[in-house]
Structure 1
């Protein structure tokens, strides 16, 4: 049975921090809904209603474009290994790019990585849990290092060039502000 909460309780936080993977959902007023899996060491619970996650460079940049249009976001975790639960955090998010004043302070919460594209500072207004009884068991074998190696091979300049080529617009043509120079507007 689903239950709603107005904040992240210690038990919720423990569940979130035990997960190796989470999903991010966003959408603009029109166009495609995006659901993206996230891993690596990229998420921190900073309070009863605050979560930050660091978004690494990827093939798309849907979350940034969607949040520029409509500031709503859902984060979801599934208990694949032990505890059968699905948890969703609903809220809004402030998008921070490496050029923004607060980026460095929040980025310092995570291991140093080339390719950190945005940090999303999520204000949670509702948390919902449900049973997760139909979620299958999966064993966590480990993190992939493919994205890390990809960014290291390119270096900061190569990653920035990738942003310019591939990350300025969403699938539906919405600007993402990844460069912050007006070229993706």
Structure 2
């Protein structure tokens, strides 16, 4: 049965810390819904009402565009182990970039990772657990290094050029604000 929480309890935070994969969902007022899988050690629980993840350079920048437009975001975790559980975090998000005053508050919480683009911060309005009985069992093997290797080969100037070429607008044409603070 689904259960709602107004904040993250210590057991929910422990569950999050055990997960190797999470999904983010956002949508513009009009346009496509974006659902993205995330891995690598990029997620942090800041407190019982705030979570954040280090967003790495990718093919698009949909979440940033959607958060700039309406701030709505959902983050989901699934247990793929013996103990089934799905956890969704609903709330208001924002993108924090290196030029933003809050960068220095959040950035030290993360490991330096090639290709880092921004930090997505979610103010949790509600958390919901559900059974996860239909989610299959999977065994974690390892994180992929492909994205990190790609970013290392590009270097800082190559990453910035990639942002310029591919990350300034969403697929629906919304601005991502990648070069603003």
Superposed pair shares fold, TM > 0.5: yes
Q: How many angstroms does 1:105 deviate by?
A: 3.3
- Measure the CA separation in 1 of the matches of 2:129 and 2:51: 17
Provide structure 2 residue ranges, at least 5 long, that are not aligned to the other structure.
Answer: none
The answer on whether the counterparts of 2:64 and 2:94 sit within 8 Å (CA) in structure 1 is no
For residues 38 and 104 of structure 1, the distance between their equivalents in structure 2, rounded to whole angstroms, comes to: 23
Per the alignment, residue 139 of structure 1 pairs with 139
Q: Which runs of 4+ in 1 moved over 6 A?
A: none
Checking the alignment, whether the CA contact within 8 Å between 2:87 and 2:128 is kept in structure 1 is: yes
Shift of 1:154: 1.0
- How many residue pairs end up in the alignment? 181
SS at match of 2:15: helix
Counterpart position of 2:12:
12
Give the SS at the match of 2:157.
helix
Q: Name the TM-score, length of structure 1 as normaliser.
A: 0.95
Could you state the TM-score of these two structures normalised by the residue count of structure 2?
0.97
Cα deviation 1:64-92 (Å, max 9, x = unaligned)? 00011111110000001232011000000
Q: Distance in 2 between matches of 1:105 and 1:144?
A: 28
Contact 2:68–2:94 at 8 Å: present in 1 too? Answer: no
Where 2:77 maps in the other structure, the secondary structure is strand
1:74 and 2:79 aligned = no
**Consecutive unaligned residues in structure 1, runs of 5 or more:** none
- Report how far residue 137 of structure 1 moved: 0.5
